[in-house]
Structure 1
Amino acid sequence: MVRESWASRAGFILAAVGSAIGLGNLWRFPWMTAENGGSAFLLLYLLTVLVVGVPGLLAAFVIGRRSNRNPVGAFKSLSGSRFWTALGGLCVVTSIMLLSFYSVVGGWILRYFLESATGAYFAAPETHFATISYGVEAFGYQLAVLAATSLIVGAGIRRGIEATTKVMMPGIVVLLVGLAIWAAGQPDAAQGYEFYLGFDGAYLAENFLSVLGSAAGQALFTLSIGGGTMITYASYVDDDRSLPLDASVIAVFNLGIGVLAGLVVFPLLFSFAPGPTEGGPGALFVGIASAFANLPGGRLLGAVFFLVVFLAALTSLISILEIPVSFLVDEFDLERSTATRGLFALVAVTGGVNAFSPAVFTLFADHLVDLLLVLGLTGFMVYTAWVLGPAAIEEYLEGSGAISRPLVIPWRYAIGTVFPAFLLFTFYADVTALVGLSVGRGLLSVGTLLTMVVLVSIARRTVSETGPQPGKSRD
């Protein structure tokens, strides 16, 4: 079966940016920022995206383009190792988990977009959200969103994913800019900006580890790099593209739209809602809905806002669904339409559990997926640096320009040592906090060091068993 590729560089970048911004920036980013001290979280989030996210994104791109395969096929074809192939399998599992709760949120957004015309949520936003967020109706809207996502992915890379994101992404940016300008004129916008952008060193010092873990998880969540999306998208990229340039552009766009989303949300939360930390995952549907209920033209403004969020949700869902679809197409030679229909049925079941159970939804959305994304990117980095090694450098340099070429050696050694160690440290800090253990930084550092030794040993043994990396795998 002939494998598709992107029709243009712009199509690839817009699709990747769409995957990155999606619900991660418009739904989850304001909620996580509010729960982690506002500006303290924002600072660590920005640093993590730029310092760790871009090199990690580049590692995923290298694996994807080098193999021309989905995450499972990439590790299988490049290393032949069961351990690393299992890492690809983890990506597929993570994508199913993401789809299972993301599609529930997508259903909420679709419902709110439609209900904006009647103002159904205006009278009592908190009560309304509590009533509609789980149950049969939530499941019905979830299925509608999954069906729309499946139709786009089933149409293919060029006619489905690329064509759709080329239209949606400019629309999202234009509408967000307009909403940010409008939000700036609201009565307590200045307080929202202060919470969001004013640096709070005391809060950061007191809560550094918890904020760091949340910021790292959010950075990987928005950039879509720990779950295999960017491996999959890069597998459709031609050799003449500069992977370092594309990774930098995608990260900058992601940051810009994330910050822009905060400039819309926080002025409204301070002007019309009980406060920035109210609502958790439902903050967007309670606090922001309260704003539209109290504004002239609130129905129109609500419809525009939730249209933006719905388009962003679709771009994320499209990219996540492409991971298991490409796995079935590449590894089992299934028709794309058949693979898409089968996955629709599977996620209807797994997602249905999230649509009916708040406890399962919260577990997936707030903790489990973050941890899996951190583990995934840690593996990508170690694999790229230690197993691909010189082959990773070759792939990095393919199509690269004069500015990025001198950075290749520092990039390789950074993703082989410092950055995965940082991710493992945040992973252990998050896990211990989740289970209620009080562990000092020294013990966390020891656990991180021991895990790094084990991972590097596995990588070196893989190289000794398989020999130098072969040339590119091409159909």
Structure 2
Amino acid sequence: MARESWGSRAGFILAAVGSAIGLGNIWRFPWMTAENGGSAFLLLYLLIVLVVGVPGLLAAFVIGRRSNRNPVGAFKSLAGSRAWTVLGALCVVTSIMLMSFYSVVGGWILRYFLESATGAYFASPEAHFDAISYGAAAFGYQLAVLAVTSLIVAAGIRRGIEATTKVMMPGIVVLLVGLAVWAAQQPGAAQGYEFYLGFDGTYLAENFLSVLGSAAGQALFTLSIGGGTMITYASYVDDDRSLPLDASTIAVFNLGVGVLAGLVLFPLLFSFAAGPTDGGPGALFVGIAGAFAGLPGGRLLGAVFFLVVLLAALTSLISMLEIPVSFLVDEFDLERSTATRGLFVLVALTGGVNAFSPAVFTLFADHLVDLFLVLGLTGFMVYTAWVLGPAAVEEYLEGAGPLSRPLVLPWRYAIGTVFPAFLLFTFYADVTALIGLSTGTELLLAATVLTVVPLVIAARRSVSEPRSRSSESTD
């Protein structure tokens, strides 16, 4: 079966940006920002996206384009021990976990978009969200969102994913710009900007470890790295493209849309709600929905806003579903339509648990996914730097321009040492906070060193004779 590829560079960039933006920048971002000190969280988030996210994207791109395979097939076919296929399997599991709770949120958004026509949530936004967020109705809307996602993915890379995201992404940006202009004119806009953009050094100093872990998890969530999406998308990329340029472009677009979304959300939360801390995962639906209740044209504004969020949700869900679909197509030679239908049933079952159980939903959305993404990206980086090694350098340089070529060796050794250590440090900080342990920085550093050193040694020992690009592509 001939493997598809992107029809254009713009198609790949827009699909990858759509995956990265998604609900991470619109639904999850205000919730996480509010819980972690506002601007203190924003600063660390921006730094991690640029300093760790871009090199991490590059590692995923190198694995994907080098192999022309899904995550499982990539680690199976490239040089190194077959034990690394466990990391590919982790990607498939993580994508299903992500879809299981993400599709629930997508169902909420679809319902709010449709209800904007009648103003059903206007009278009492909090009570309305509490009544509809879980249960049989939530599951029904979840299935509708999954069905739309499945139809798009089943249509293929060019006719489905690329064609759809080329329309959705410009639409999202245009609508967000219009909403940001409108939000700036609301009464609480100045307070919202102060919370969002005014740096709070005291809060950051007092809560550094907890904010760091949350910011790292959010950065990986919004960039779609650590879960295999970018490996999968890069596997459809042609050899003449500059991976460093593509990674930088995607990260900058992601940051731009993320900051733009904040310029919409926080002025509205301070204008029409009790601030951004109300609502937790439902902050978007309680605080923002209330903004439209007493406004002229509130129903139209509500429909436009939730249309933006719905499009963002779909672009991310598409990328998540493509991971297990590509796995089944590549490894078992299934028809794309058959693989998509089977996964629709699977995610409907796993997602249904999230749709009926708030406790399971919160566990997935607030903790487990962040931890899996951090572990996944750590593995990608170590594998790229030490198992692929010179082959990764060759892949990086293929199509790279004069500005990025001198950075290849610093990139390789940073993703092989410094960045995995940073990610594992945040992982241990998150785990200890999750289980309620109070640990000092010294203990976290010791645990990080005791993990990184054996991991690097094991990776270097698993190296086999690397094959040329031509031999890899004929597997």
TM-score tier by shorter-chain length is over 0.9
Structure 2 spans left out of the alignment, 5+ residues: none
Whether contact under 8 Å (2:80, 2:387) holds in the other structure is no
* Matched residue, 2:394: 394
Whether contact under 8 Å (1:65, 1:235) holds in the other structure is yes
SS at match of 2:78: helix
Which runs of structure 2 are paired with 1:270-285 in the superposition (5 Å)? 270-285=270-285
* Matched residue, 1:24: 24
Whether contact under 8 Å (1:388, 1:469) holds in the other structure is no
SS at match of 2:187: coil
Whether contact under 8 Å (1:272, 1:294) holds in the other structure is no
Which runs of structure 2 are paired with 1:250-289 in the superposition (5 Å)? 250-289=250-289
Deviation per residue, 1:437-467 (Å, 9 max, x gap):
011111100110111112112111111xx22
Aligned partner letter, 2:59: A
Tell me if 1:291 matches 2:268.
no
* Matched residue, 2:469: 471
* Matched residue, 1:313: 313
Separation in 1 of the partners of 2:291 and 2:139? 27
Separation in 2 of the partners of 1:321 and 1:216? 23
Aligned partner letter, 2:360: V
Which runs of structure 2 are paired with 1:71-220 in the superposition (5 Å)? 71-79=71-79, 81-220=81-220
SS at match of 1:293: coil
Separation in 2 of the partners of 1:263 and 1:286? 18
Separation in 2 of the partners of 1:80 and 1:404? 27
**Alpha-carbon offset, residue 474 of structure 1:** 1.8
**Alpha-carbon offset, residue 82 of structure 1:** 3.4
Separation in 2 of the partners of 1:377 and 1:79? 19
**Alpha-carbon offset, residue 275 of structure 1:** 1.3
Whether contact under 8 Å (1:152, 1:160) holds in the other structure is yes
Tell me if 1:455 matches 2:455.
yes
**Alpha-carbon offset, residue 44 of structure 1:** 0.1
Separation in 2 of the partners of 1:80 and 1:150? 34
Whether contact under 8 Å (1:58, 1:244) holds in the other structure is yes
Separation in 2 of the partners of 1:235 and 1:468? 19
Question: Is 365-374 or 25-34 further displaced after alignment?
Answer: 25-34
Whether contact under 8 Å (2:79, 2:465) holds in the other structure is no
* Matched residue, 1:244: 244
Separation in 2 of the partners of 1:416 and 1:455? 10
Aligned partner letter, 1:401: G
Separation in 1 of the partners of 2:119 and 2:458? 57
Separation in 2 of the partners of 1:82 and 1:396? 23
SS at match of 2:63: helix
Separation in 1 of the partners of 2:44 and 2:430? 15
Separation in 2 of the partners of 1:360 and 1:82? 33
TM-score (norm 1): 0.99
4+ runs deviating over 4 angstroms: none
Deviation per residue, 1:334-355 (Å, 9 max, x gap):
0000000000000000000000
Separation in 2 of the partners of 1:188 and 1:23? 24
Aligned partner letter, 1:178: G
Separation in 2 of the partners of 1:250 and 1:258? 12
Structure 1 spans left out of the alignment, 5+ residues: none
**Alpha-carbon offset, residue 291 of structure 1:** 0.5
SS at match of 1:275: coil
Deviation per residue, 1:336-380 (Å, 9 max, x gap):
000000000000000000000000000000000000000000000
**Alpha-carbon offset, residue 471 of structure 1:** 3.0
Whether contact under 8 Å (2:80, 2:388) holds in the other structure is no
The count of aligned residue pairs is 473
SS at match of 2:473: coil
Separation in 2 of the partners of 1:379 and 1:226? 8
* Matched residue, 2:5: 5
**Alpha-carbon offset, residue 249 of structure 1:** 0.2
* Matched residue, 2:407: 407
Question: Is 77-86 or 450-459 further displaced after alignment?
Answer: 77-86
Separation in 2 of the partners of 1:126 and 1:226? 34
**Alpha-carbon offset, residue 81 of structure 1:** 2.4
* Matched residue, 1:339: 339
Separation in 2 of the partners of 1:80 and 1:71? 14
* Matched residue, 1:349: 349
Aligned partner letter, 2:362: T
Separation in 2 of the partners of 1:100 and 1:79? 33
Separation in 2 of the partners of 1:350 and 1:453? 36
* Matched residue, 2:235: 235
Question: Is 290-299 or 97-106 further displaced after alignment?
Answer: 290-299
Separation in 1 of the partners of 2:283 and 2:86? 36
SS at match of 1:417: helix
Deviation per residue, 1:292-350 (Å, 9 max, x gap):
11211110000000000000000000000000000000000000000000000000000
Whether contact under 8 Å (1:382, 1:415) holds in the other structure is yes
Separation in 2 of the partners of 1:144 and 1:81? 41
Whether contact under 8 Å (1:113, 1:303) holds in the other structure is yes
TM-score (norm 2): 0.99
SS at match of 1:421: helix
SS at match of 2:289: helix
Separation in 2 of the partners of 1:363 and 1:254? 26
Whether contact under 8 Å (2:73, 2:85) holds in the other structure is yes
Separation in 2 of the partners of 1:443 and 1:228? 31
Aligned partner letter, 1:252: V
Whether contact under 8 Å (1:67, 1:78) holds in the other structure is yes
Whether contact under 8 Å (1:72, 1:88) holds in the other structure is yes
Whether contact under 8 Å (1:55, 1:411) holds in the other structure is yes
The Cα RMSD (Å) is 0.7
* Matched residue, 2:421: 421
Separation in 2 of the partners of 1:264 and 1:47? 22
SS at match of 1:79: coil
Separation in 2 of the partners of 1:442 and 1:310? 44
